[in-house]
Structure 1
Amino acid sequence: MSVISKSVPVNTKATTQCSTDMFTRIVKFSPRFLLALLILPVLGGLISVLLPAFGYAPVLEQTTFSLQGFNALWQTPGLTQMVTLSVATGLISTLLAFIITLMILAAFFNSPWLNRIQRLLSPILVIPHAAAAIAVGFLIAPSGMISRLASPWLSGWELAPNGMFPHDSFGISIILGLTLKELPFLLLMALGVLAQPELGKKLRQQHKVALNLGYCPMTAFFKVILPSLYPLLRLPLLAVLAYASASVEMPLILGPNTPPTLAVAIMHWFNDVDLNLRIKASAGALLQLAVTGGLLALWLGGEKAVKVLFSDSLTNGVREYGGFYWQKITVVLTTLVISFILLSLIGLVMWSVAGFWRFPDAMPEQFTLLHFKSALMQMGSPLFNTLAIGLVTTLFAIILTLLCLESEQLSDKPISRFTSLIIYLPLLVPSIAFLFGLVWIQQLVNNQAAFFNVVLTHLLFVLPYVFLSLASSYRRLDPRFAHVAASLGAAPCKVFFKVKLPQLFAPILIAAALGLAISFGQYLPTLLAGGGRIATITTEAVTLANGASRRTSAVYAIMQMALPLIGFILAWGLPKYFFKSARS
């Protein structure tokens, strides 16, 4: 008996229409999903930290509202110093980074030196805060590189002195570390604004007109460029201020311990074996939220005060404010900043391969790779966790970002100002405040899914940077290619995958490298969301920085820097390789 098989006809047109409708629905829904993904964890975290702060914590068998947490907080020895240290280090470091950024822009505006300075400082962006703190600590320590280079010929020291750095009670080490880390970010944000074709061309023309009218270059910058530039830098500045006021990695490695900054103290209370201290930690998180909110309000108020005080100077016709001397000061200051950063990195590398290295020798007596070998044998699991969490988080962030940007073009209107502000929400709200509440929720919902919890918390910080990195490139795509493809009958999903994504190959790789760098550097989200069960290179580096040998700490810090650096090298090299292969 023969069996005759009969093929079933497939309605290709209906299938294509179904997939197109599905793609369109997903794209149009993606902005709402983005808002929910950013708002719900942050808002839920804030609410979940608010309730325990007022005594309501069913997990700890406390179901009545009270001021127990705040009472314990007010009785904490040194609380005033903690708050003062957080305010001073956050505000001063942000102000210094902003002022130096403006001085560099004003002194080298329309000069080839500005691009050279950018190329020198840009690699600092990929260095995680913990690695940067370790490098700065090695440099300014009593037996650090600065003391070694100045001894004994200048200082007369034959033995390491009893210096106050790092861990000084005034927070100078923290301010130094934060300033050096945030300066390249602010400079890159400013240069990104000036790189906008229409705005950049307009401002450069206005600057030339001011020069032709007799204004010195620095005066021309502050009177012509800054009023148009500053509004576009406001959100990045506020994000920097919010982070600096509630930072954990930098103060934990460089700051004092008696007492520490408020954010570090809150972290210690939350991780204490006495679970009742979590009530006090929740109250402290609300205090940190108030401190950061107060600093943001102070900054915005300072804007208005500066505008009132200096509005007349914009139109008073004065063309010179000692610009020659300020330019020389800026050159010296820029040289010092770059030298300090380079010396920090050189010292870090030397400690990682140093054998016996007595003070005050500027160079080790011998070099060895033993520290790398022993560290690599122990960092298998942390390295795997770091890569896995970073890859999953970044992939999800890029997919969601691309869908949201495609939604803009399908609807033919940009995202709302509300959505633009929400993208910055996880960066503006102190992570120490909402992460504790988010951890409460995660422990109630599923305490065993540590990997998923860490990925979710990393996504809150990776997504804003990936979105901001990809948005400008996506919006600058020439729409004529998409129009031609659509006129030839290509569905929106085909236009997206076949026309737009190939043009965005290089920007997507850069955004992926940035997302990986942000994920690799996350300490507090990993520590809290993982419940201490997921070790990464960053968590191990911070732990080792407070007790292990300098050589082991240096190796972990270098691994922290190497991972994102490899990502950026691939992001810069792969497009050239593929485009060269396509042409050949």
Structure 2
Amino acid sequence: MNAKTLALDSQDMFTKLVKLSPYLLLALLMLPVLGGLACVLLPAIGWAPALQQTTIGLQGFNALWQTPGLSKMVTLSVTTGLVSTLLALIITLMMLAAFFNSVWLNRIQRLLSPILVIPHAAAAIAVGFLIAPSGMLSRLISPWLSGWQLAPNGLFPHDSYGISIILGLTLKELPFLLLMALGALAQPELGKALRQQHKVALNLGYHPMTAFFKVTLPNLYPLLRLPVLAVLAYASASVEMPLILGPNTPATLAVAIMQWFTDADLNLRIKASAGALLQLIITGGLLALWLSGEKTITYLFRDLMTNGKRDYAGFIWQKITMVLTTLVIGFILLALMGLVMWSVAGFWRFPAAVPEQLVVSHFQQALVQMSNPLLNTLAIGTVTTVLAVTITLLCLESEQLNAKPLSYFMSSVIYLPLLVPSVAFLFGLVWLQQLVNHQAVFFNVVLAHLLFVLPYVFLSLASSYRRLDVRFAHVAASLGSTPYQVFLRVKLPQLFAPILIATALGLAISFGQYLPTLLMGGGRISTITTEAVTLANGASRRTSAVYAMMQMALPLAGFMLAWLLPKFFFKGARF
């Protein structure tokens, strides 16, 4: 077989892969989610051959209704999910309105963007250390303001109202929504049009914040709808945040479902399956409530959009937004500072604001124990991210070769694993895994991670790929290059930096996965995140802080490499 034959075979294989890649994307995102939902439905109605139960009925739901505190669990899930999403969106919109067309918006983005790489578990640990009775906030006001010489009996964290959960979720999701909004504004045509419309409104005498809400937001919000719904779906069914910050008697519904499913009594899995369906209904109801709320607000405020009023106490709201932004950034920085100090703290008596001595023994002890979880974290994250980046690149290349974007249906499917509560379909996947392939634990965990990594990688790479100047590809093709050669030698080099950013993002998402690793691994695969969550409520603060620091260090290292490598490889380039 000569070189020409090999080249033709490679070209044929590449063409086939590109054509099949959109269908592969659909299969990878739809089949596990829909299959998981189907497989969680059957045990909920009594059909579970693995537990010798084949009588169809409502046993699971009957057991669920008899659970003490079920109404409190549901209330916690609804209120924490809805309130945290609403707060995150309101603060995001206030920041955008106050600093629109200002250099401060980019500065705020640079300050908050690193929060995106922090896993939810690490963020929850940091917030918990900050608001605990002997946390950083209490230390900063003691004893000079509070008069406390000893740590008080505090309400936070683990308060029964879920305020700690709301605080943690709001601070974690706010940077995501802000980044999604800025990403939409970065689209050349849309961003230019919205900024010009905003300037026209200013020239007509509108206050900057009024101009944003009347002119910019109606065109911007449709692009934020899916990210907001994804945040709401996650917040209503989150496990890591409520497990670390929330109450235990009772916990949120998602945490209770996880506890039932991992209990030694396997019969509780029937109730867990029924609970997963209830969680699906709750999340679906919240999404429907949000969409109907959009219509209601549009109807109620339609007259305000066209009444010609230029100002609604904009100066006061702008000052409030500045103070709120300062508090948010300060709160986040203070939480991270407290986490760092606890990881190296020796003797630290309350109410001292800083440790009396700094030591590295906590890191030395933890590093000895975390070698296996660290290797598992890196292996799963690497395999998952490589698969996600490869599939995404092939799908986007299919777009360009067909000269048309992905269909609306396919674009919406990308959000499917983010909109469906993970506690619902992951439990079904566990049932399916035990029937089909319960031995390939590593493969099962990678597949579960891929469901959450692939959407973020696709969204990260799509805009850069679609902005490629097709003239370069046309010139290369006119010189005799095949689509495979154009893809490999023309497009990928131009996408070097975006691919690295998407890879770093994919690794960060994979590193932070708790529930998929716990359930699909069956407790046989431990990662830094699963260990951190386990230690958060039981181990010393210093040990928990070390694991949380490692959770942050891994994705941060990935983003640092993504930032440095293009500078290294192209340092001699002239553009």
The bucket for the TM-score relative to the shorter chain is over 0.9
Paired residue secondary structure (2:230): helix
> How far apart in 1 are the matches of 2:156 and 2:7?
66
TM-superposed deviation, 1:21? 2.0
Matched, 1:312 2:303: yes
TM-superposed deviation, 1:290? 0.2
TM-superposed deviation, 1:64? 1.3
Paired AA for residue 287 in structure 1: L
> How far apart in 1 are the matches of 2:155 and 2:176?
28
> How far apart in 2 are the matches of 1:302 and 1:282?
30
Paired AA for residue 572 in structure 1: W
Partner residue, 1:527: 518
Q: Provide closer, same or farther for how the CA distance between residues 310 and 496 of structure 1 changes in structure 2, counting only shifts above 3 A.
A: same
Matched, 1:140 2:131: yes
Q: Which residue among 369, 389, 392 is the counterpart of 1:398?
A: 389
Partner residue, 2:175: 184
Q: Which residue among 56, 63, 67 is the counterpart of 2:54?
A: 63
TM-superposed deviation, 1:497? 0.3
Q: How does 1:246-265 map to 2 (within 5 A)?
A: 246-265=237-256
Paired AA for residue 382 in structure 1: P
Q: How does 1:99-114 map to 2 (within 5 A)?
A: 99-114=90-105
Paired AA for residue 133 in structure 1: A
> How far apart in 2 are the matches of 1:148 and 1:555?
21
Matched, 1:199 2:170: no
> How far apart in 1 are the matches of 2:392 and 2:403?
17
TM-superposed deviation, 1:443? 1.5
Partner residue, 1:85: 76
> How far apart in 1 are the matches of 2:570 and 2:471?
22
Q: Which residue among 294, 303, 306 is the counterpart of 1:303?
A: 294
Q: Which runs of 5+ in 1 are unaligned?
A: 1-9
Q: How does 1:131-170 map to 2 (within 5 A)?
A: 131-170=122-161
Matched, 1:432 2:410: no
> How far apart in 2 are the matches of 1:140 and 1:11?
69
Partner residue, 1:408: 399
> How far apart in 2 are the matches of 1:515 and 1:252?
24
| CA deviations over 1:77-116 (Å, ceiling 9, x no partner) | 0000000000000000000000000000000000000000
Paired AA for residue 331 in structure 1: M
> How far apart in 2 are the matches of 1:140 and 1:384?
32
Partner residue, 2:468: 477
Partner residue, 2:571: 580
> How far apart in 2 are the matches of 1:258 and 1:271?
18
| CA deviations over 1:223-243 (Å, ceiling 9, x no partner) | 000000000000000000000
Paired residue secondary structure (2:197): helix
Q: Which residue among 216, 228, 231 is the counterpart of 1:225?
A: 216
Paired residue secondary structure (1:158): coil
Larger radius of gyration: 1
> How far apart in 2 are the matches of 1:557 and 1:63?
44
Give TM-score scaled by structure 2 length: 0.99
| CA deviations over 1:8-61 (Å, ceiling 9, x no partner) | xx5554443332222111100010011011100000000000000000000001
Give TM-score scaled by structure 1 length: 0.98
Partner residue, 1:345: 336
Partner residue, 1:565: 556
Q: Which runs of 5+ in 2 are unaligned?
A: none
Paired AA for residue 101 in structure 1: T
Paired AA for residue 349 in structure 1: V
TM-superposed deviation, 1:363? 1.2
Partner residue, 1:505: 496
Paired AA for residue 143 in structure 1: S
> How far apart in 1 are the matches of 2:573 and 2:466?
25
Paired residue secondary structure (2:571): helix
> How far apart in 2 are the matches of 1:358 and 1:13?
74
Matched, 1:443 2:427: no
> How far apart in 2 are the matches of 1:478 and 1:285?
47
Q: Between Structure 1 and Structure 2, how many residues are aligned?
A: 575
Matched, 1:364 2:358: no
Paired residue secondary structure (2:53): coil
Partner residue, 1:552: 543
> How far apart in 1 are the matches of 2:304 and 2:480?
59
Paired AA for residue 438 in structure 1: L
Matched, 1:174 2:165: yes
* Greater mean deviation of Cα atoms: 16-25 or 208-217: 16-25
Partner residue, 1:6: none
Partner residue, 1:454: 445
Q: How does 1:316-331 map to 2 (within 5 A)?
A: 316-331=307-322
Matched, 1:467 2:463: no
Q: How does 1:32-47 map to 2 (within 5 A)?
A: 32-47=23-38
RMSD: 1.0
TM-superposed deviation, 1:582? 5.1
TM-superposed deviation, 1:449? 1.1
TM-superposed deviation, 1:347? 0.3
Q: Provide closer, same or farther for how the CA distance between residues 209 and 280 of structure 1 changes in structure 2, counting only shifts above 3 A.
A: same
> How far apart in 1 are the matches of 2:213 and 2:79?
26
Partner residue, 1:3: none
> How far apart in 2 are the matches of 1:161 and 1:33?
56
> How far apart in 2 are the matches of 1:137 and 1:238?
26
Partner residue, 2:9: 18
> How far apart in 2 are the matches of 1:77 and 1:553?
31
| CA deviations over 1:240-275 (Å, ceiling 9, x no partner) | 000000000000000000000000000000000000
Paired AA for residue 278 in structure 1: R
Among the aligned pairs, what percent are the same residue? 81
Paired AA for residue 528 in structure 2: I
Matched, 1:486 2:484: no
